[in-house]
Chains A and B, each alone.
Chain A
Amino acid sequence: MPEGVIVGGWSYVIAAYSITAIVLVAYAWSIHRRGRDERGKRGRHE
């Protein structure tokens, strides 16, 4: 097992968590928007 420890690294952690949050929020918004559009189309169709 190699000795030593990676010093710092918070910038990588912040980048990974930020990207995760952005992708999850964007996907949740995309699902919400598509659901709303579909309900709108169904309303017009009927």
Chain B
Amino acid sequence: MNVRRSLAIAGLLLLVVGTYMGLFVAPPERHMGEVQRIMYVHVPSAWNAMLLYTFAFGFAIASLWSGKPEWDDRLVGAVEVAVVLNALLLVQGSIWGRATWGVWWDWDVRLTTSLVMLLLFAGVLTLRRMASAERRAQWSAVATIVAFVDVPLVYYCVRWWRSLHQIQSSPETVDPAMVIPLRLNAIGILLLGVAWLMARAAIEKARRRRDEAPLPSRVIVKETAHA
């Protein structure tokens, strides 16, 4: 069995067990009651989105430093998976916000910086489509480094400024029955995310090789005949 498939299966298993525990084993929270169970998917999505953006930042530096196209393949994989998780965390957060704050959305600093993070990295993916093949890797790397400025801002903004969003909890302040499903889901999504990153990088590599390869002789013959 290849590494990608093993990671995906292990990630899925952890996610299934973590979700079961989050929904049916963990106790309801003192003030939020059952609604707090959204945390077991919301927080792992947020952690892994930011972690994958950090991977993308590392790949961007490696891409600029070495000029090797493999780093760009990994960069697009990391950014794409992180954008999916980023969109997901905003939707989950919106549902949680409606249940606890009474609104679907608020221009709070954590929510706003998270939305900006999504738009910036979606912009990186859009830029790749517009850039020429020769410039694509360079533009993507620079845009990723610029977009990454927002990531630490998302993490620390709740400590630096007043926010509706709560600050980060620690295992010391959370019931162990809540920590276990949270960690299982976080590791599960991480393993799935890495498997998807690898799969997406492999697709990008195949596309690049196809674009770089000379046209097959039959196509050239056909085009010559039309001319």
Contact = CB atoms under 8 A, between A and B. Distances in A.
B8 to A, nearest CB: 8
Residue of A10, A19, A20 with most chain B CB atoms under a 10 A cut-off: A20
A39 B35 CA distance: 44
B98 interface: yes
Interface in B180-223: 192, 196, 199-200, 202-203, 206-207, 209-210, 213, 216
A19 B31 contact: no
Interface string A30-46: 01001100110110011
Contact of A9 (B33, B42, B210): B33
A8 B34 contact: yes
Interface stretch (B88-96, B130-138, B147-155): B88-96
Interface string B10-42: 000000000100010000001111110110011
Nearest to A10: B34
A21 B127 CA distance: 29
B124 interface: no
A20 B216 contact: no
Contact of B41 (A2, A17, A38): A17
A35 B31 contact: no
Given A12-B99, A13-B23, A19 B92 contact: yes
Interface residues of B, number: 37
Nearest to A37: B203
A10 B88 CA distance: 19
Interface residues of A, number: 29
Nearest to B8: A28
A23 B84 contact: yes
Contacts of B23: 13, 17
A3 B164 CA distance: 17
Top 6 A-B pairs ranked by shortest CB distance?
A9-B35, A12-B99, A16-B38, A6-B33, A38-B206, A9-B34
Interface of B: 8, 19, 23, 30-35, 37-38, 41-42, 45, 81, 84, 87-88, 91-92, 95-96, 98-100, 192, 196, 199-200, 202-203, 206-207, 209-210, 213, 216
11 contacts: A5-B32, A10-B34, A12-B96, A13-B35, A20-B88, A23-B84, A28-B8, A31-B203, A35-B202, A35-B203, A42-B206
